[in-house]
Amino acid sequence: MNTIFKRVISGAAALGIAVSGLAIGVSTAYAADPTTGSITINKSDAGQVDHSFDGWHLASLTNVTKDSTNKINGFLIDTDDHMVRTIVAAMTSDQKVAYEKDANYYSTDNAVANPMGYLVEKVFKDKSGKALSELTSPWGGDSSTLRVFAKSLSKELAKVGAPAADKTGDSALKTGENKELKQGLWFLKDVTTTDDTKGTNSIPIITPTTFDGAGSWGTVTLKNTTPTIDKKLVDSKGDGTYTPNTQPDYAVGDDVYYELTSTVPVYTGYDIDSTMKDATKTRIFKINDTASKALTVSADSVIESVKLTPAQGTAVTLVKDNDYTVTVADYGDVNTPDTDAYKGGHVTTIDLGKYVNKAKGSKSATDGILEGATVTVIVKAKLNKDALISEPGNLQKNPNKVDLEYSNHPEEVNHAHKVPGPEVPVYAYKFDILKTDKAGTTKLPGAKFTIKAVSGTSKHDGKYLGSYGKDGWSYLDSEPAVTDTDGVFTTGKDGKINVSGLDAGTYEVHEIAPPDGYTAISLPKFQFTITPTVGDEAAGCKTITVVALSLAKGADVRALLSQDGKTLNIWNAKNITELPKTGGVGLAMIVAVGALFIAASGIFALRARRKA
């Protein structure tokens, strides 16, 4: 054991020790050095998962002394004999050369050699010679000598033949207080089993145990490096800003906007490759947005924006191809079962690898990585004719989900940890028209209608439905004529018209031409409403629980809602005598026609008198 140098460890931080290099003042020796201490591993917030750590004892502290205020001001470091070779192997080549030239620490005899004493005294200091502060730059920064050494030591301990952990398995250190540990310096390696609901493993930790008079020694607080992924529907305000959606229904052909949010992981201490050519050192940070086949996405237009918002400061807009890339791939393969709601859909991947690896041309290459910043991605899709359509008694959702992939192990950054996010559905509706005679027994083909969105739709109020093509609905500014093709809906042989892919709202149905053999006098015109019941989820994550059709109060009596609530039954009159006798335009028309007959007969009588 080398006992020449005596120095102070002034504090401990979350992932390492801080070393001061203060000279010894007047001190008093311990009657006996402590033999045990504890290490407390704290979570930075209650939402973090519990962690487990394998532990290796590196060195003991001996000849501990205190000053007049009972604070430790000196000690010797005694490297564990069986750890000497591994600690030396973890040094950089320059550190090793310098160590082997220093007779105060170096020896070929492991019982005498003191590499940890050398590192604490000579290496783990900043450029000014003062103690490293692991708090000013999270975890000491990627280039911290302590951090680099800890990473290197972790790799050496993973090799075949390396010293076994002193604490592992059932005796491994856990989140919380770990008592009765051998006093001194410990190396801790996170061995927490991760799955799709847990976060990153901690980077390697070097920390002392508790000592009386040593303040915060023996306390480690883990960084919360557990990014989550969230998704919600938003409505575009047309100026680059968005508000959470409160009613998730759309017409086929409408644009649908989603907001994806996550957090830039704390990658300090992780391998990095700015060239992104070495997969084993290239950090992973990807957001995968999966859409069912009801939603059309294009790699050229699917991403509206990607922004980073730090806790303090202004938002930064990332640049496609400089900071991130976008790809769109088919979901699944020929073996994907028909029961999979996403069969035939697409996966959009927003890969922020360039940003988190500080690739050339990225904002992080010049400004650094905004670790912990909120990532906000706006995704645009279009609801298409493959959409599942809801009707009363039969709700069908068109799902969209998201997940996050990121490096969660500091020494295996190419291992992508996946975190699932929420699924957000959208809906569209339909209704039928059935045309019959007054008795309701004969189905009438050839009746022509127009349909107008009156109010309550997302963006089509005041427009007439046009044609229903591969891109969804087109719209007309004015009511089409009987001879037009677009916007005129004609009953088939079964007397039906099926109108599908609509947004919720109030619509006006106007018959503009009757079936052959039926009167064109006073054709039906009325309004009805598609009304969804929205769940009590948070805005942006709403679902529809029920949808219903209803006729407006005072609607034309020739329009009735079917018992199942899905069809508008409309009957036609063959002649004026079959028109409604009370209320509505039917009565008004009869009165008007009667008035014409009276007027005509009066004129005839007047002319007859004049002739007489």
- CA 134 to CA 120: how far, in whole Å? 14
Model confidence band, residue 415 (pLDDT cutoffs 50, 70, 90): confident
pLDDT at 86 (0 to 100): 97
AA letter at 461: D
CATH T-level fold of 429-579: Immunoglobulin-like (2.60.40)
Q: Show Cβ contacts of residue 512 under 8 Å, excluding neighbours closer than 6 positions.
A: 448, 449, 450, 479, 481, 482, 488, 523
pLDDT at 586 (0 to 100): 47
- CA 186 to CA 55: how far, in whole Å? 7
pLDDT at 13 (0 to 100): 33
Burial class (CB in 10 A: 0-12, 13-18, 19+), 182: middle
Mean pLDDT of the chain: 86
Q: Is residue 528 within a helix (H) or strand (E), and if so which, with residue range?
A: strand 525-534
- The three-state DSSP-derived secondary structure of 63-127 is EEEECCCCCEEEEEEEECHHHHHHHHHCCCHHHHHHHHHCCCCCCCCCCCCCHHHHHHHHHCECC
pLDDT at 199 over 70: no
Token couple for 496 = 């039906």
Strand pairing class (36-43; 176-182): antiparallel
Q: What integer is the mean pLDDT of 344-356?
A: 97
Q: Which residue has the tokens 């000196």?
A: 74
- In the chain, % of residues over pLDDT 90: 67
- CA 529 to CA 174: how far, in whole Å? 60
The whole-angstrom distance between residue 559's C-alpha and the CA centroid of its chain comes to 46
CA angle in degrees (0–180, nearest 5) for 98-101-104: 105
| Sign of torsion over alpha carbons 433, 437, 443, 446 | negative
CATH T-level fold of 230-423: Immunoglobulin-like (2.60.40)
pLDDT at 31 (0 to 100): 54
3-state secondary structure of 593: helix
CA atoms within 13 A on the CB side of 449: 30
- CA 514 to CA 462: how far, in whole Å? 24
Model confidence band, residue 26 (pLDDT cutoffs 50, 70, 90): very low
Backbone torsion region of residue 516, taken as left when φ is above 0, otherwise alpha when ψ lies between -120 and 50, otherwise beta = beta
Of 152-166, 207-221, 365-379, the range with the lowest mean pLDDT is 207-221
Q: Is residue 168 within a helix (H) or strand (E), and if so which, with residue range?
A: none
The widest CA-to-CA distance across the chain, in whole angstroms, is 149
CA angle in degrees (0–180, nearest 5) for 177-179-180: 170
CA angle in degrees (0–180, nearest 5) for 587-591-596: 145
Radius of gyration of the chain (CA): 38
pLDDT at 22 over 50: no
Model confidence band, residue 195 (pLDDT cutoffs 50, 70, 90): low
- CA 358 to CA 365: how far, in whole Å? 4
Of 144-153, 467-476, 500-509, 589-598, the range with the lowest mean pLDDT is 589-598
Model confidence band, residue 224 (pLDDT cutoffs 50, 70, 90): low
